[in-house]
Amino acid sequence: MIEDLDGNAIGGMLLEVFGAEMTAAIGTCGNCGTTGPVAGLAVYLRGPGTVVRCPVCNFVLMVFVRQHEVTCVDLMGLAALG
């Protein structure tokens, strides 16, 4: 079983991607509408990419895949972030 961490664990990657501190940013789940800090989201690091899920409904909010120093970012599950 893959143990989930939380959004604190990807603070460095988010800082790299967005150029700003993001763990205190508030995200809104595009599926169930739950809002909360990125630090509280469920994070799975051990897959081929990093998957971030809603801690309430488990909907996939963000996916990050890194290759050759470039990080591809998919934020499709988020209704809002900021």
Partner 1 sequence: MAGTAVRGRLTWQDATVGVVKDETPEVRTISLDVPQWEGHRAGQHLDVRLTADDGYRAERSYSIASAPGEQVAITVERLPDGEVSPYLTEELRPGDDLELRGPIGGWFVWEPADGGPLLLLAGGSGIVPLRAILRYRERTGSTVPVRLLYSSRSWPDVIYRDELEQPAAGVEVIHTLTRLQPPGWTGYARRVDAQMLAEVVWPEDQAPLAYVCGPTSFVETVATGLVGLGYPAQRVKTERFGATGGTR
Residue 76 makes CB contacts below 8 A (sequence gap 6+) with 30, 60
- Please answer whether residues 43 and 9 qualify as being in contact, where contact means their C-beta atoms are separated by less than 8 angstroms: yes
Structure tokens given for 40: 């509280």
Residues 61-80 that bind partner 1 (CB under 8 A): 69-76, 78, 80
Q: How many amino acids of this chain bind partner 1 (CB under 8 A)?
A: 36
Closest C-alpha among 69, 60, 78 to residue 17: 69
Report the residue number, 59 or 73, with the smaller CB distance to partner 1: 73
The SS3 of residue 7 is helix
Residues 10-49 that bind partner 1 (CB under 8 A): 11-12, 15-17, 19, 21-24, 36-40, 43, 45-46
Q: List residues near partner 1 by CB under 8 A.
A: 3-9, 11-12, 15-17, 19, 21-24, 36-40, 43, 45-46, 69-76, 78, 80-81
